[in-house]
A and B are shown apart, each in its own frame.
Chain A
Amino acid sequence: DAKTTQPPSMDCAEGRAANLPCNHSTISGNEYVYWYRQIHSQGPQYIIHGLKNNETNEMASLIITEDRKSSTLILPHATLRDTAVYYCIVRVAWGGSQGNLIFGKGTKLSVKP
């Protein structure tokens, strides 16, 4: 599986957009980019995933560069409740044992009033 690199921490002002970067320069053509977050020692929560097109859902947007070597998770209007550790994970599409997620240390996002 491709490895990912994320900054260990970031700050964001409440109400502003939070842009969380992730580098995955060794990503393969059949590997997806997934984002999960973990709020204060709770179980991780799925946010969004994508292959090569930009994706948006009710929680966030995912922007993947054309060469797929990096991506950015965007929380458009961060709130205090978005303070969490955000994990960027690269994996092949789902199937049996390929569903296993490999977590790094993630980015600790602190949203400040």
Chain B
Amino acid sequence: NAGVTQTPKFQVLKTGQSMTLQCAQDMNHEYMSWYRQDPGMGLRLIHYSVGAGITDQGEVPNGYNVSRSTTEDFPLRLLSAAPSQTSVYFCASSYSGTPSSYNEQFFGPGTRLTVL
């Protein structure tokens, strides 16, 4: 298994440009999520999905869109990039499990985005 993969690894954008960060997992996980991490900070949840066709907002969703058309893929779209979106972006996935069990989240290697 490749686990959770993210592309690209690095990206530089100009203010106002749009782009899509790709995330894919080959573990048949129902749950997927996107986090951003600013320097010296913990991760903050942007959007998440509990299954194909189902998405919801996290703590910091403004400026980002997501969709989940397949179990494997969960792309994150920046509609009009701003310097405040300069960050490292992590994608994660896991089984949904049951209320009495816990399934660890697997994280991708991250995408380092700079918006000028």
Contact = CB atoms under 8 A, between A and B. Distances in A.
Q: Is this pair of chains taken from one and the same complex?
A: yes
A43 B5 CA distance: 11
Interface stretch (B14-22, B62-70, B74-82, B103-111): B103-111
Interface stretch (A20-28, A44-52, A65-73, A74-82): A44-52
B56 interface: yes
A97 B48 contact: yes
B108 A43 contact: yes
Contacts of A102: 45, 59
Nearest to B35: A103
B60 interface: no
B45 A34 contact: no
Contacts of A44: 43, 90, 92, 105, 107
A50 to B, nearest CB: 10
Interface string A29-58: 000101010000111111001000000000
Given A96-B50, A100-B48, A100-B58, A43 B99 contact: no
A96 B51 CA distance: 9
Given A95-B99, A99-B31, A101-B105, A43 B58 contact: no
Which of B4, B44, B102, B107 gathers the greatest number of chain A CB atoms within 10 Å? B102
A67 B34 CA distance: 34
Interface residues of B, number: 34
Contacts of A106: 42
Contact of B109 (A42, A49, A94): A42
Contact of B92 (A43, A93, A96, A105): A43
Nearest to B33: A100
A95 B96 contact: yes
Interface in B36-50: 40-45, 48, 50
Nearest to B94: A99
B19 to A, nearest CB: 20
A42 B6 CA distance: 12
Q: Which 8 A-B pairs have the closest CB atoms?
A: A43-B107, A103-B42, A46-B104, A103-B43, A94-B97, A95-B99, A94-B102, A96-B50
